[in-house]
């Protein structure tokens, strides 16, 4: 960190060392609209250095037993937990979310991610069968892609991967991890932890808008016992350093969480190298509320599922379908509860929502509301914050109120496109079949919620929804062992205990005739 009056200046973390960059970009505090930090504007050169470090660290790290790697991860989880308050304050300042949310969700979940994969890597088994007529033994092992696996079809030939030193098979490879700005440390650790637990060395690129907690985590890696070069973090923009990482021929695997247009670019850049891809993308998530729903639970949960983290969670509800018989009652109570959802400066303990990530994003979100109004929709509550209620230094912050739109057609862009802000649409429906068809009528398929006391109905509807995740009578309760991911344009692949392990390793079938 630079002197007290100077801006905080981040550095890349390569081969276990902080390395300055020759160019920087400004990072803004969303709650004031002022620059408060400088982030390295890395490019190809920094990616080359990180690949070299990851290559050198790979044989040693991948040859360690899962138990040894697990111990390192447990230590890292403890260190993150000890820094919880400091990390929560930093995450809130960098992202605009409330400190309360960062303290209760983001950082605890980052700790949980690391601890979860420290444990789960010890519990994977492989398949074995002797059922063929020749009586051979067939079994699977997980081996690195780097050895004789994914090779570039053009561009520079990668260096041959050195064989691991110990006897057991190392399930590792060099992984490129790209994460977004909405849940910075939460989503970064969701990738780093399973990747290194499985024996990979990694190069991570957090969002240029929210790089601070990743940089803070780097300071804990050595103490946790992560050897130099196992985790390299290179900061900068998507088009510059993100593309350099994706296009690098020695990085055969990319785990990406972000938007669908960026995913298209990543697919394009990865295609010549046949890279293994995991893509966790956006959503346009429906909540389906049947007339027998318990509204006392449903309303506060649906307000939360619509507006938590300023609506900047890929799993947030943005289309609420309510059975016509309870539509008016629901709407009245929902709007009333939304109006009580306080927008405030991130340190305000009573605030439920802080500032949006950037000026550009705030303008984009507002443009959707303008469009809805021009189409004849009604805005029941929301839009601008009364800036007089904010301290003087926060007058330029990117705040807006949680917004509820009604009388809107399913064809409207507000009902089709991901807004990724505190905006939700409420519309009536008549029948089960109709609402399933309407819920499925968008290009996304990430998460859905269904509210009903009829057990048969929730099973039936959940099964028919085109959605990677369906929550019934709840939202955002996660079991990390089970698959997480989206259908259709919401992504390719799944993450979670076994799924992450399978993604970060390559399976091989071996047949022994005896
Ligand atoms: P984004 O696609 O703009 O950026 C995501 C990351 O990709 C950032 O690190 C960015 O710098 C990088 N990037 C951008 N262009 C790139 C390029 N050409 N090559 C390589 N990397 C590039 O997304 P965002 O605005 O940061 O995040 C919001 C999006 O993320 C939303 O669509 C949201 O739904 C999605 N998201 C999905 C999940 C999920 O688990 N499915 C979770 C969180 C966010």
* Beta pairing partners, 280: 257, 491
Q: Where are the domains of the chain?
A: 14-150+168-281+491-510, 285-478
Is it true that 14-150+168-281+491-510 and 285-478 share their CATH fold?
A: no
In short, whether 181's Cβ falls inside 6 Å of ligand 1 is yes
Which ligand 1 atom sits closest to the C-alpha of 446? Answer: 41
Q: How many C-alpha atoms does 152 have within 13 Å on its Cβ side?
A: 14
* Beta pairing partners, 143: 506
* Beta pairing partners, 320: 287, 426
Q: What is each CA distance from 513 to 133, 137, 138, 207, in whole angstroms?
A: 11, 7, 9, 51
Local confidence band at 96 (pLDDT 50, 70, 90 cut-offs): very high
CB count, 10 Å around CB of 160? 9
pLDDT at position 324: 98
Which ligand 1 atom sits closest to the C-alpha of 183? Answer: 43
What is the share, in percent, of the chain residues with pLDDT greater than 90?
A: 89
**Residue entry with tokens 């046949």:** 274
In short, whether 356's Cβ falls inside 6 Å of ligand 1 is no
What CA–CA distance (Å, rounded) separates 151 from 40?
30
What CA–CA distance (Å, rounded) separates 356 from 254?
28
Mutation to probe ligand 1, out of 39, 259, 265, 494 (largest number of atoms < 8 A from CB): 259
**∠ Cα 323 419 107 (to 5°):** 100
Local confidence band at 153 (pLDDT 50, 70, 90 cut-offs): very low
State the catalytic residue, choosing from 280, 495, 502, 506.
Answer: 280
Our answer to whether residue 280 is catalytic in this structure is: yes
Mutation to probe ligand 1, out of 262, 285, 309 (largest number of atoms < 8 A from CB): 262
| Two tokens, residue 13 | 């973390």
Q: What is each CA distance from 391 to 94, 116, 192, 195, 347, in whole angstroms?
A: 18, 40, 38, 43, 12
Q: How far is the CA of 251 from the centre of ligand 1 (A)?
A: 19
What CA–CA distance (Å, rounded) separates 176 from 205?
8
Closest by alpha carbon to 375, among 352, 407, 343, 338?
Answer: 407
Digit-coded pLDDT (tens) for 258-267: 999 999 999 9
What CA–CA distance (Å, rounded) separates 72 from 119?
11
Confirm if 330 and 295 have CB atoms less than 8 A apart: yes
pLDDT at position 162: 46
Digit-coded pLDDT (tens) for 274-330: 999 999 999 999 999 999 999 999 999 999 999 999 999 999 999 999 999 999 999
pLDDT at position 152: 38
Digit-coded pLDDT (tens) for 485-503: 999 999 999 999 999 999 9
Which ligand 1 atom sits closest to the C-alpha of 261? Answer: 2
- Check whether 174 has a pLDDT greater than 80: no
- Spatial CB neighbours of 208, under 8 Å, sequence gap ≥ 6: 25, 27, 39, 235, 236, 237, 238
What is the arithmetic mean of pLDDT over 86-112? 98
Provide the 3-class DSSP secondary structure of residue 148: coil
* Beta pairing partners, 357: none
Digit-coded pLDDT (tens) for 117-126: 999 999 999 9
pLDDT at position 145: 54
What CA–CA distance (Å, rounded) separates 201 from 177?
11
What CA–CA distance (Å, rounded) separates 252 from 141?
19
Local confidence band at 143 (pLDDT 50, 70, 90 cut-offs): low
Local confidence band at 387 (pLDDT 50, 70, 90 cut-offs): low
Which residue's CA lies nearest to atom 6 of ligand 1? 180
pLDDT at position 436: 98
Which residue's CA lies nearest to atom 23 of ligand 1? 258
Mutation to probe ligand 1, out of 27, 189, 258 (largest number of atoms < 8 A from CB): 258
Fill in the DSSP letter of residue 159: P
What is the fold of 14-150+168-281+491-510? Aldehyde Dehydrogenase; Chain A, domain 1 (3.40.605)
- Check whether 408 has a pLDDT greater than 70: yes
| Two tokens, residue 437 | 């068809």
Angle between helices 432-439 and 455-464 (to 10 degrees): 30
pLDDT at position 389: 81
Which of 3-7, 253-257, 437-441, 504-508 has the lowest average pLDDT? 3-7
What are the DSSP calls for 471-513, one per residue?
Answer: EES-SS---TTS-B--EETTEES-BSHHHHHHHTSEEEEEEE-
Q: What is each CA distance from 422 to 310, 343, 401, 509, in whole angstroms?
A: 5, 11, 7, 48
In short, whether 420's Cβ falls inside 6 Å of ligand 1 is yes
Q: How far is the CA of 416 from the centre of ligand 1 (A)?
A: 19
Which of 146-150, 395-399, 484-488 has the lowest average pLDDT? 146-150
Q: How far is the CA of 262 from the centre of ligand 1 (A)?
A: 7
User: Which superfamily does 285-478 belong to?
Assistant: Aldehyde Dehydrogenase; Chain A, domain 2 (3.40.309.10)
Closest by alpha carbon to 178, among 78, 42, 66?
Answer: 42
N- to C-terminal Cα separation, the chain? 63
Query: 429-461 b/e with 16+ CB inside 10 Å = b?
Result: beebeebbebbbebebbbbbbbbbeeeebbeeb
What is the arithmetic mean of pLDDT over 397-406? 97
**Residue entry with tokens 């696996």:** 149
What is the arithmetic mean of pLDDT over 403-427? 98
Alpha-carbon Rg for the chain in angstroms: 24
Kindly report the average pLDDT of the chain as a whole number.
Answer: 92
Local confidence band at 383 (pLDDT 50, 70, 90 cut-offs): confident
**Residue entry with tokens 């992202």:** 95
Fill in the DSSP letter of residue 389: G
Which ligand 1 atom sits closest to the C-alpha of 283? Answer: 34
**Residue entry with tokens 């670019």:** 265
pLDDT at position 469: 98
Q: How far is the CA of 436 from the centre of ligand 1 (A)?
A: 28
Q: What is each CA distance from 198 to 33, 171, 186, 210, 509, in whole angstroms?
A: 40, 6, 19, 26, 18
**Cα torsion 262, 265, 267, 269: sign:** negative
- Check whether 147 has a pLDDT greater than 50: no
* Beta pairing partners, 323: 429
Our answer to whether residue 274 is catalytic in this structure is: no
Which ligand 1 atom sits closest to the C-alpha of 245? Answer: 20
What CA–CA distance (Å, rounded) separates 131 from 134?
8
- Check whether 159 has a pLDDT greater than 50: no
- Check whether 481 has a pLDDT greater than 90: yes
H/E stretch holding 383: strand 378-383
């Amino acid at each position: 960190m630079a002197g007290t009056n100077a801006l905080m200046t981040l550095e890349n973390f390569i081969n276990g060392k902080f390395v300055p960059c020759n160019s920087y970009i400004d990072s803004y505090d969303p709650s004031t609209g002022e620059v408060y930090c400088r982030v390295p504007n890395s490019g190809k050169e920094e990616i080359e250095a990180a690949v070299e470090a990851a290559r050198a660290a790979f044989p040693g790290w991948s040859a360690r037993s899962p138990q040894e790697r697990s111990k390192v991860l447990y230590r890292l989880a403890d260190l993150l937990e000890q820094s919880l308050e400091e990390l929560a304050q930093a995450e809130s300042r960098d992202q605009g979310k409330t400190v309360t949310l960062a303290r209760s969700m983001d950082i605890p979940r980052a700790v949980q991610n690391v601890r979860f994969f420290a444990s789960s890597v010890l519990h994977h088994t492989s398949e074995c069968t002797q059922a063929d007529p020749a009586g051979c033994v067939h079994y699977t092992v997980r081996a690195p892609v780097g050895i004789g696996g994914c090779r570039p079809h053009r561009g520079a030939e990668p260096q041959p991967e050195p064989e691991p030193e110990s006897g057991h098979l190392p399930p590792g490879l060099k992984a490129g991890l790209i994460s977004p700005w909405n849940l910075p440390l939460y989503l970064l650790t969701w990738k780093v932890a399973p990747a290194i637990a499985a024996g990979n060395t990694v190069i991570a690129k957090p969002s240029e808008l929210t790089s601070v907690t990743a940089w803070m985590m780097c300071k804990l890696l050595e103490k946790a016992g992560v050897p130099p070069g196992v985790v390299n973090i290179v900061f900068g923009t998507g088009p510059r350093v993100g593309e350099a990482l994706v296009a690098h021929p020695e990085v055969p695997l990319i785990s990406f969480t972000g938007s669908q247009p960026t995913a298209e670019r990543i697919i394009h850049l990865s295609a010549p190298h046949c890279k293994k891809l995991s893509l966790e993308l956006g959503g346009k998530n429906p909540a389906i509320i049947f007339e027998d729903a318990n509204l006392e639970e449903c309303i506060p949960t649906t307000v939360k599922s619509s507006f938590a983290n300023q609506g900047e969670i890929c799993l947030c509800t943005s289309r609420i379908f309510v059975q016509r018989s309870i539509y008016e009652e629901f709407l009245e109570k929902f709007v009333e509860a939304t109006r009580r959802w306080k927008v405030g400066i991130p340190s305000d303990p009573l605030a439920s929502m802080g500032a949006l990530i950037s000026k550009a994003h705030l303008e984009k979100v507002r443009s959707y509301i303008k469009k809805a109004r021009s189409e004849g929709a009604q805005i029941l509550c929301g839009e601008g914050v009364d800036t007089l209620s904010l301290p003087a230094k926060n007058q330029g912050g990117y705040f807006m109120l949680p917004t509820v739109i009604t009388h809107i057609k399913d064809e409207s862009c507000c009902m089709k496109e991901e807004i990724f802000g505190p905006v939700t649409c409420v519309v009536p429906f008549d029948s089960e079949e109709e609402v399933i068809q309407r819920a499925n009528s968008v290009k996304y398929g990430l998460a859905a919620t269904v509210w009903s006391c009829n057990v048969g109905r929730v099973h039936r509807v959940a099964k028919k929804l085109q959605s990677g995740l369906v929550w019934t009578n709840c939202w955002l309760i996660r079991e990390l062992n089970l698959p997480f991911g989206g259908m259709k344009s919401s992504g390719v692949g799944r993450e979670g205990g076994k799924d992450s392990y399978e993604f970060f390793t390559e399976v091989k079938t071996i047949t022994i005739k005896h």
